Amino acid sequence: MIQAESSSPAPAERILDAARTRLAAGGFRDLTLRPLAEASGATVAALTYHFGSKGQLIERLVAIEREADAARHAAFAQRFADLPGLRPGAIAALLEAYLDEAAGPARVTSLIWCELLLAAVNDPEARSLIAPWITARRAFWRELFAGRVDDPAAWANAAMGYVTDETVHSLAQDGEADYRLMRRMTLERLAGRGDGLGLSDPAFFEAVVRRLDPALELPGPASREPFSGRAQSIALAAGEVIVARGAEGVTHRAVGERAEAPASSVAYHFRTRLDLLHAGLTVIYLVAQGRLTPPQGPVEAFVARGTISVALAAAREPELRPYAVDLRRLRGENLRRRLAERTGAEIDLCTAQCASIARLGATLLARAAGQDPPLGVVDWIVGRET
C-alpha cells in the first residue's frame, strides 16, 4: 500500500517555529535546548543534528526573521511609493501605520527584534546578528525619506530612533485608547506641527497623560532619597538586574545573588516581585536624573536599556504596563527639566516626550551596534518647536 505523503512540517521547520514562539514569548532565557525540543516534538539529539548548537539555531532563526522583515519593509514602502512629498500630516500617518503593523501583524518579529537589540548591548554574538539588521532598517528609512523632505538623513535618524522605542510601548499598550491618543500627539510633534496645532495641544496632551498616570510614585527631581542602608544596596542590585537581564529577570534570588544577600533579606525589604521591580526602576530613574552614578556603563545606555526592558516585559506581563507608561511620562518630564537647566529652552511635555522617545531609541540602536549614541536628535526635534 502506498502511504499518503505527510503534510506536517519537517522536523527542522517545527524546531524553528517553536524557537520563534519561545523567543518572542520569553526572550533568550526561554530558548534552552531540552524545553525547545519538547515544544517542537523533537529530541535534543534531533535539534543538535539539524542545527548543531543553540547559537547556530539562533543565527538561523535571526536570518529568517531578517528576510521576512526586509520583505515587510519593502511592501510597506511600496504602499507609499506614489506619494511624491511628505508633509507633516502624511509623516504622522505613515509612522502611525508603521507602528500599528509592528505591534499587530509583525508582533512576533518586533518582539524578537527588541530582544536582540537589548541583548546586543552587552553580548558580542548578539551584536554580530543585529548589526546587518540595523543596517537594513536604516537603509529603509533613508530611502523612504529621500527626495520627499528637506534633510532626509536627519528625518531618517529621528524616525528610526523614535519607532525603535515607540514599538516597544505599542507592543505593551496598544489596546489602551488613551495611549494611542497620546502616541498620535507625539507623532504630530515629531512630524513638525507646532504648539496649539492639530491634536497635540499642550493642555490636552497633559490631560491625557494624567488619565494614564498610575501614580506609582517613582522619584521626581525634588523627591527625598528613597533608600538607605541595606535597602539601598538591594535596590541598586535590582536596577543592575533590570539592565543586565531585563525586567523578567528580577527575582528575589537573582537580586540577592547580585547584592550578595540571602533571598530572605531581599524579601524583608521588598516583599513582592513588583516591590522589587519598583525599587530597581527607582534606581534607574535616579541615574537618569543625575542623582546616582550607574553601577555599570554610561548613563544613557543604562537608562535606555533599563526603561526599554520594562516596556518589553510589559508586552508579556500586563501588570507591568503601568510601570512602562509611567517611565515614559517621567522620561519626558526629566528631559524638559534638563533642557531648561542646560539651554534655558522652555518646551511643553508633548515635545519633551517625543524627543525623549527618539533619543532613547537612537541610544539603544547605537549601543547595540557598539557605537557611541548620535548627537543632535533632541536638538533637531526641539529646534523646530522653539
Decide: 173 and 325 in contact? Cβ < 8 Å: yes
Is the pLDDT at 6 greater than 50, yes or no?
no
Q: Domain for residue 106, yes or no? A: no
Q: With bands split at pLDDT 50, 70 and 90, how would you rate the model's confidence at 198?
A: confident
Q: What are phi and psi of 259, to 5 degrees?
A: -85, -5
pLDDT one-digit tens code per residue, 284-322: 888 877 788 877 677 777 888 888 888 888 888 888 888
Position 128 scores a pLDDT of 94
CA atoms within 13 A on the CB side of 187: 23
The three cell numbers of residue 197 are: 496645532
* The total number of structural domains that make up the chain: 1
Q: With bands split at pLDDT 50, 70 and 90, how would you rate the model's confidence at 133?
A: very high
Decide: 386 and 345 in contact? Cβ < 8 Å: yes
DSSP string computed for 147-212: TTSSSHHHHHHHHHHHHHHHHHHHHHHTT-HHHHHHHHHHHHHHHT--TTSTT--HHHHHHHHHHH
Decide: 137 and 96 in contact? Cβ < 8 Å: no
Decide: 250 and 241 in contact? Cβ < 8 Å: yes
Region 161-182: what's the mean pLDDT?
A: 93
Q: Domain for residue 251, yes or no? A: no
Q: What does the alpha-carbon distance between residue 203 and residue 213 come to, in Å, rounded to a whole number?
A: 15
DSSP secondary structure code for residue 384 in this structure: T
Q: Domain for residue 38, yes or no? A: yes
Q: Which domain holds residue 22?
A: 9-60
Q: What does the alpha-carbon distance between residue 117 and residue 77 come to, in Å, rounded to a whole number?
A: 23
Position 195 scores a pLDDT of 44
Q: Domain for residue 39, yes or no? A: yes
Position 112 scores a pLDDT of 92
More confident residue, 323 or 177: 177
Region 122-148: what's the mean pLDDT?
A: 94
Q: Domain for residue 344, yes or no? A: no
DSSP secondary structure code for residue 106 in this structure: T
Least-confidence region, from 93-107, 137-151, 325-339: 325-339
Q: Domain for residue 346, yes or no? A: no
pTM of the model: 0.88
Of 337, 326, 339, 315, give the one whose Cα is nearest residue 282.
Answer: 326
Q: Domain for residue 46, yes or no? A: yes
Decide: 305 and 118 in contact? Cβ < 8 Å: yes
DSSP secondary structure code for residue 122 in this structure: T
The CATH code of the domain that includes 56 is: 1.10.10.60
Amino acid at 184: R
Q: Domain for residue 53, yes or no? A: yes
Question: C-alpha dihedral over 330, 169, 130, 157, to 10 degrees?
Answer: -70
